[in-house]
Structure 1
Amino acid sequence: MNFIRWNNLIGGYFFKPEHAGKDVHLFMTKGDIIALGKPNMKDDHTDEEVWQNFLWTLRYGLSGSGNVSIFEKALYAAEKWKTSGFRTIESKPQQFPPYISYLVFTVLPLTEVQGDYNSNNYYDRLAEFITVNQIFELTPGRVKKLQNLKNRLREIDCLWDELSQWANHRMNGQLGNFHVISFSHSTWKFVGKPFSQCVLPPKSLKQIPNFFYQSDLVPNTFYRDDIFKRLLLKNGVSLLGLKNSVVELIRKGEKDEIGRSVIGMVRAEFLKWTGEAHDTVLKDGKQREIRKMTVVPLKLQFKLSEDGELIFSYRAKYASEPPSSLKLGEYEDIYENENWSKTLAVGFSESIVLKDLVNKWKALFDVKRIHFFITGSYFNMNNRFWIETDVLSKTERMYMLCKIGIRDIISGWGRESCQSFREELRFKGLPKGYSLFSFLGPKSSHQTLSELTVYDLKEVSIREGTGLRVGYLSYLNRLLPEVEITNADGDETVFIQYADEQEHIILKQHQDLKNIWLLPADLHLYKRFTIQVLGSTIFGSSKAYQLLDSFHEHLDSTDFPKRNRFFSEDELAKDFVMGNQVELSRKINIDGNISYFSSSIKVGDDAQEELEVNGSFLLDWLLAVKDCKINRFYEAFGVVHQHLYPEDNDHIQEKRKASVNLLDYLGFIDFDYRTENIFALPPKLIYVTTDKGRKALLIGCRNKRLIDKMVEYCRKSNGGIRMSIKPQTKSNQLKLIPEAITLESNYEREFKGIAEYCGIGFDDWHILKLKELVPSLGEYVEFMKSNGTTEPWDSNVTTSIFNKDSLKFVPIEEYPKVFTLCEYRPRYAPEYGIWIDNNHFVVDKSWGKYMLLNHNAAKIAGWEPGSEFAKTMELFFNGSNIAIPTSLPFPKLFSRMILQLSGVAPEFKKMNLKGKEVYYNVYRSIPRLFLENFLKKKLNILIESTKQLL
């Protein structure tokens, strides 16, 4: 490979969309470089040949650079790129700065040379690296002379800043952020920059969550730098694999800039730590991570009763998704939002531990000498509560609970430093040995109590929990995000400024919170803007944001994974589903089903009535984001749900999970629970069952513009086709499920016409193709067994088995292995396996449940000799309504077919249909014979009749 090819590979290794907003360090080993380059070499090469090719391209660099040193080659490449306007090299488009590989070269001596050198000895390591790898000067003649680069790092020092400028400003952090640490001491001024890239190598960073866990730290808790220093000196070598030379730099602490930077990096990683710790095990020949424990803090809070009594309680604060089954002590259904639990009504205590050993979570509270409290609205929660926080606010009224022994010290600080300050003696219920103060507007820090630090360094950012984030620094133009300034004074003039424009727009301050500002509704779309503070430059003000709109036209079914009838990705499948497109290798039976989809009874020719169309925030976001992981969906769901239903905070996790599944079954999205990928599906019309004329359902993601255009066509048709909008039930509205939009007409041409007019698809027999694609239970079992047996998870992983009587998974240690469905939780996403005659197979959860029910149920003779139907006594019909236990969802393609018959999500009801109360999903307006025969054929099960209203 040539120099440019190598440089682009290395640039893409560090800077890529997955690293947007994350800090990048130029750490690479010889092994990393070989592994990156080898697959891109034209012919087979040994590892050493790949390595030498990389070094050779560095020595020769760009054509025209002459017989100069490697560092001069780097400067030449930088200049050539600069003169092209940062666009091309040698007349070819160049995405990455052409000197990245040279900066990596400066780090390699620190990763590859293990000699006995002083901790700050860079140049002797560099000389050894040059010698070992025979990096010669490019001089004419036969005399070979090693390059001498001693004391020459100053020559390329500017390139570190240029890379930072490119990553953070030109690329706006969308491929990753690169921060340069500036060193003032002569020892580190130039050599400190390569050192700073590798003091915490990737191997150490991977171990850092376990380092925090083993050190008994609790996330979202304030710790002083000296605590991190002490822990690094104690456990840095054993737990993080740090070199002794690095530990010596840390030991010097304030006396050494590299040592301080290491402590700063560890603190930065701690601020990102979710509290999770994992072990690595070998399963099926692969290394897998399993949960060890998740630790979260309990934050103290209080509210005031009407008679002035302090009522203390707690909330868990978390940064990773808690299991929906989490039970901390006696408290269940604790989830309130993505950061906070609901109130845990535990009385004040100086030490609390709440554990869930099944889910491997624990929440801790250890009393401190000082606790700060701020209004709940600061965290987007109920403002009746005052919730614990770690830092002082200069803008909001706060309370401080402190040990009585430092009461006088704090009183002195408060009177001198704060705008207002008083001891609260009027409240009842104060814990013994404590004092409570209220205060506003602290101006200066306390000299000895580090908790009483007033921070002046400001940062502008988007307020957590606001806005529908589409991508890095990109938001949807609905439910606009709010602007937050950390450590604000409250009197700032905040404005936005569009790129390449002088005019700015002043932002309005939040009515209640003086560190929050609001974006105007009339911002331009697709135009980058920065958020500034008048008269000062603050951290984060160089980030360029933009607002985006939602469109369906860019969605294409061919962009989605191709899945076979068992919903496994399979590029060779002849019968498959791709997004909401179904392809079959054989003809479907239209004649035998046409009576369900067409009626001789005519639809009336009344003109289109007025319809109120509001659109859907969630569908707009899905259209804008196009594809995402499930955690991104949960984030957007939380923002929309909080906006629409601020008083509803029960079972939010279950609602989000149900929302994903229902949106998939109804044809809005494609969701793969194994990879947790979500894809927005393009809109199209499909025929559904009807008792008048013909009816079509709109599936796929849509926006208000599309619906308005469809209404416009209906009005112009003069009764030829009509649209109806049916709201979902209230419980499904809380899950953010959009209305069902159907069209009725007596003429097929009208469906084709409106689809063409609106630029969407019309897939007339989509339902029948789905019906044909769905495999039978027997076919699934054959497919499952064809994948071979697997190892079950061992006893270190929480295991539950499916109980056929309660229809729930129950934790258990010992169980039979003849016919048992198991749920494993090595991390948080569950995995499923089934034991059949002491053989273990990976299984889809829904298929596994019906396999188990079928196996254990009484049987009656089927249609054909030797066939049987299972009487599960779990599924019930009454007229055109069917009730299915919520814990027995149909396999995915079954559910898609059934829900898309009407476009209406099932109603959630608790009923007694078999002698005990059970939660059911009730599907309405389902042709009984159509579905009854389908389930007999595919699942070999009978549906029971009931006289009870469903």
Structure 2
Amino acid sequence: MDYLQWNNRIAAHFFNEERARCNVYLYVTEELINRLGFHEQVNCQDFIRAIKKGPSCFLERYPNIFRTALALKDLDQWRFRKLNYPPYIGYLAFLVLAASHDDFASKNYRKRLNFLLGENEKRQHPDFHRMLELWDDLENWANQEKGEEWGSFQKITILKHPHVGLIYGQTLLTEQEIKVLPTIFDAANLLPNSSISEQNLAKLLIEKGNKILNKRTIRLLESGINNEFCQALLNIVLEELAKWDGTGEFLSENGTLIYRCLLGFSAKWDRTAQILKLQVRCKIGKNFPEKGLSFDDKYFCEPESKNWSTPISINLSQYWQTGFELKSSDQECQFKLYPSKVRLLISGSGEGLSGLIEYSKLLPNIPFYLIVHQSCSHHIEQWGKSDCKEFEKVEINQGLPPGWNFYKAEAALRDTLKDQYPILAFPTTIKLNLEGGIRLEKGNEFFAFAPPKFILESGNESTTVQGYFNETLLNLEYQNGIYTLPLNTPTHQKIE
């Protein structure tokens, strides 16, 4: 195949509508290249030949592949020619291919690169450092110009090895490994978006992923969190955990695929009568049937908001500590209630629901509520008095099962109980969630009458959100941890 054919074949594999708003890593292996060329009966050797030859549209021969790649970036203003993909992706894929054989031994990279090019292993490449221009351009194209419609490209920079490390950063986890991460999260009873230390996460991945992660990955995890490459890998996993909504396809005990959702609680608190009305809901995902699901031919629910189903008329209070699983009547979906002695609730307004909803991470300086088993109440009350603002126990006359207490607080100031109760840990990374709104397509364009709201997740209370258009500051409204665009927000313009 011609170089541009290879380029487009590789690009389409990584960037497409199914990857909308998903993280994309350009992890290219010989097996992948062989698979992409299978129907044309060509393999990785043909790809390398095309890389060395360059695109047939070039009449001029460049002195090396790096000059060719840079020339493709400026190919007759390819953006104005409306090419589907940047024409230099094939060369970035080749650079990653040269790194996919090593155990992150960057000192061997040049030797491997020259071997694939059929050149002397000691040869230097003075234009190699300029490949950073292509990585930056790809990031801008995928995330800004395409608005993440075909995926969000993640450029991993490892400081001690700025150029080679960036390439190895694409090879930390394969596509298949990223796909099975929810299985590991589920096996470890990790809640979506939950906080966990790097040390504990590494141990968990080794223990629960030993049979499903590549040996190369396990060896990197065993090298310890002081290894920069290990830290970068754990950051990817933390990002995937933060994006995971608890749903996904899992193998059942008999080997069939089932779709799994989380069960969570919503609550309405009658402050006058001190009655708490708790309801069970499904935390739904993109594969949740629009027509709804029935359970044991007794219960039924359907989508109510982007993230939650309508309430299910089932009492699970006896399972709060032990956990519970429920299957749909067709046996194709499974719903799981995670066991916990401390359940955290926040305002549901950010997700389009009235009342309170169960949440999996404590956010500083935001009102929250706790349902706590009496065996933990002493620790929680001590923490509330010393590390929270306006923390108090609320006497509930009706709605709580025996042995449980209800608390409210204006804000958490410190997360000193995070080791005993991970759900009471502040976020370890900064994340801005878009909640609600109606998208035009799969990217980040919204109808003006239904813009999204923004929820900031950060363990640093000094972190705030600002919005700009054309360098003009927007006056974002802020209440209960939710940022809202003003009514006069300009349309048909990018807001950053």
Give, in whole Å, the separation in 2 of the partners of 1:276 and 1:457: 27
Name the structure 2 match of 1:57.
53
TM-score by length of 2: 0.79
Deviation, 1:480, is: 1.8
Name the structure 2 match of 1:896.
none
Change (3 A) 1:65 1:363: same
| Matched ranges for 1:551-630 at <5 A | none
Give, in whole Å, the separation in 2 of the partners of 1:404 and 1:152: 65
Give, in whole Å, the separation in 1 of the partners of 2:179 and 2:465: 42
* Residue 226 (structure 2) pairs with residue 251 (structure 1): no
The letter of the residue matching 1:127 is: K
- Tell me which of 453, 458, 464 is aligned to 2:425: 453
Name the structure 2 match of 1:222.
194
> Is the CA contact (8 Å cut-off) linking 1:482 and 1:516 kept in structure 2?
no
Deviation, 1:6, is: 3.9
* Residue 302 (structure 2) pairs with residue 335 (structure 1): yes
- Tell me which of 312, 316, 320 is aligned to 2:282: 316
The letter of the residue matching 2:411 is: G
Structure with bigger RCO (C-alpha 8 Å, 6+ apart)? 2
Give, in whole Å, the separation in 1 of the partners of 2:204 and 2:248: 17
Deviation, 1:189, is: 4.0
Deviation, 1:398, is: 1.9
| Matched ranges for 1:399-410 at <5 A | 399-404=369-374, 406-410=376-380
> Is the CA contact (8 Å cut-off) linking 1:483 and 1:519 kept in structure 2?
no
- Tell me which of 506, 517, 520 is aligned to 2:487: 520
* Unmatched tracts of structure 2, length 5 or more: none
Deviation, 1:342, is: 0.6
Give, in whole Å, the separation in 1 of the partners of 2:97 and 2:47: 12
Deviation, 1:346, is: 0.9
* Residue 367 (structure 2) pairs with residue 397 (structure 1): yes
Name the structure 1 match of 2:88.
99
Give, in whole Å, the separation in 1 of the partners of 2:271 and 2:441: 42
For 1:399, what is the secondary structure of its paired residue? strand
Give, in whole Å, the separation in 2 of the partners of 1:325 and 1:166: 38
| Matched ranges for 1:598-747 at <5 A | none
Give, in whole Å, the separation in 1 of the partners of 2:298 and 2:9: 51
* Residue 343 (structure 2) pairs with residue 371 (structure 1): yes
**Residue-by-residue CA offset, 1:389-428 (whole Å, 9 max, x unaligned):** 1223446432123344554544444334433222224656
Name the structure 2 match of 1:178.
153
**Residue-by-residue CA offset, 1:895-934 (whole Å, 9 max, x unaligned):** xxxxxxxxxxxxxxxxxxxxxxxxxxxxxxxxxxxxxxxx
- Tell me which of 315, 332, 338 is aligned to 1:346: 315
> Is the CA contact (8 Å cut-off) linking 2:195 and 2:426 kept in structure 1?
no
The letter of the residue matching 1:506 is: N
Change (3 A) 1:425 1:490: farther
Give, in whole Å, the separation in 1 of the partners of 2:35 and 2:91: 18
Give, in whole Å, the separation in 2 of the partners of 1:256 and 1:202: 22
Deviation, 1:17, is: 4.3
| Matched ranges for 1:748-759 at <5 A | none
Give, in whole Å, the separation in 1 of the partners of 2:465 and 2:37: 51
The letter of the residue matching 2:475 is: I
Name the structure 1 match of 2:392.
422
Name the structure 2 match of 1:162.
137
Change (3 A) 1:417 1:459: same
Deviation, 1:332, is: 1.6
Change (3 A) 1:128 1:358: same
Give, in whole Å, the separation in 1 of the partners of 2:263 and 2:313: 13
For 2:302, what is the secondary structure of its paired residue? coil
Deviation, 1:277, is: 1.5
> Is the CA contact (8 Å cut-off) linking 2:195 and 2:425 kept in structure 1?
no
Change (3 A) 1:486 1:130: same
| Matched ranges for 1:115-154 at <5 A | 119-124=103-108, 127-128=111-112, 130-131=114-115, 133=116, 135-137=117-119, 145=120, 148=123, 154=129
Runs of 4+ that moved beyond 6 A: 488-493
Name the structure 2 match of 1:481.
451
Deviation, 1:439, is: 0.5
Q: Which has the larger radius of gyration?
A: 1
Give, in whole Å, the separation in 2 of the partners of 1:387 and 1:313: 9
**Residue-by-residue CA offset, 1:484-511 (whole Å, 9 max, x unaligned):** 23248799685552xxx4545535557x
**Residue-by-residue CA offset, 1:408-461 (whole Å, 9 max, x unaligned):** 544444334433222224656655554432101333332654433344865545
> Is the CA contact (8 Å cut-off) linking 1:62 and 1:77 kept in structure 2?
no
Deviation, 1:161, is: 2.8
For 2:26, what is the secondary structure of its paired residue? coil
The letter of the residue matching 1:179 is: Q
> Is the CA contact (8 Å cut-off) linking 2:446 and 2:452 kept in structure 1?
no
**Residue-by-residue CA offset, 1:747-770 (whole Å, 9 max, x unaligned):** xxxxxxxxxxxxxxxxxxxxxxxx
The letter of the residue matching 2:322 is: S
For 1:469, what is the secondary structure of its paired residue? coil
Change (3 A) 1:148 1:209: same
| Matched ranges for 1:800-839 at <5 A | none
> Is the CA contact (8 Å cut-off) linking 1:402 and 1:435 kept in structure 2?
yes
Name the structure 2 match of 1:30.
30
> Is the CA contact (8 Å cut-off) linking 1:395 and 1:441 kept in structure 2?
yes
* Residue 163 (structure 2) pairs with residue 197 (structure 1): no
- Tell me which of 63, 66, 88 is aligned to 1:67: 63
The letter of the residue matching 1:265 is: I
For 2:194, what is the secondary structure of its paired residue? coil
Name the structure 2 match of 1:21.
21
RMSD: 4.2
Give, in whole Å, the separation in 2 of the partners of 1:502 and 1:16: 31
* Residue 199 (structure 2) pairs with residue 233 (structure 1): no
> Is the CA contact (8 Å cut-off) linking 1:107 and 1:198 kept in structure 2?
yes
> Is the CA contact (8 Å cut-off) linking 1:219 and 1:296 kept in structure 2?
no
For 2:23, what is the secondary structure of its paired residue? coil
**Residue-by-residue CA offset, 1:277-329 (whole Å, 9 max, x unaligned):** 148x9xxxxxxx95345352343746448642445443332223158573446
**Residue-by-residue CA offset, 1:501-543 (whole Å, 9 max, x unaligned):** 4545535557xx551414526844xx2220xxxxxxxxxx3xx
Deviation, 1:222, is: 2.9
* Unmatched tracts of structure 1, length 5 or more: 138-144, 282-288, 531-540, 542-950
Deviation, 1:177, is: 1.7
Name the structure 2 match of 1:108.
97
**Residue-by-residue CA offset, 1:49-99 (whole Å, 9 max, x unaligned):** 63453243259996546434x345444544x45xx66647xxx77654443
| Matched ranges for 1:762-841 at <5 A | none
Change (3 A) 1:151 1:438: farther
| Matched ranges for 1:473-552 at <5 A | 473-477=444-448, 479-487=449-457, 495-497=467-469, 501-503=470-472, 505-508=474-477, 515-520=482-487, 523-524=490-491, 527-530=492-495, 541=496
Change (3 A) 1:341 1:230: farther
